[in-house]
Amino acid sequence: QVQLVESGGGLVQAGDSLRLSCAASRRTFITYAMGWFRQAPGKEREFVAAISRSGGTTDYADSVKGRFIISRDNAKNTVYLQMNSLKPEDTAVYYCAAGQTTGWRKPYEYDFWGQGTQVTVSS
């Protein structure tokens, strides 16, 4: 079992930046690919970004490519999401997830989830 705890959400204005963190409970963190998803009210949970176990490979949704950066520190069992040039449409609850399958763009490909952190971007 891996427990994930997100932090760093908040209320910001359009154009601002935020950095989300997700701390994992186990040293087996390094055996998991990590992903960030988000869910806005009335919408399905959607893929935002993912990073491989070593951190050498990353993937982004088109909607955030060039603005968001995912990274991980395996020594600290933590994955980050640096969010720049935020837009009102980025408003959502952001979740981190850990998985060991080969895919990473679908929620079902992840085994463990955090409780989520709210990001609200005002115009």
User: Per-residue confidence at 115, pLDDT binned at 50, 70, 90?
Assistant: very high
pLDDT of residue 19: 98
Short-list 68, 96, 65, CA closest to 82: 68
Share of the chain above pLDDT 90, in %: 94
CB proximity list for 20: less than 8 A, separation 6 or greater:
6, 7, 8, 9, 36, 80, 81, 83, 94, 96, 117, 119
Mean pLDDT in residue range 13-35: 94
Q: What is the separation, in whole angstroms, between the first and last Cα of the chain?
A: 40
**Element holding 46 (H helix, E strand):** strand 46-51
The predicted-structure confidence for 27-79, as pLDDT tens digits, reads as follows 789 999 999 999 999 999 999 999 999 999 999 999 999 999 999 999 999 99
pLDDT exceeds 90 at position 109: yes
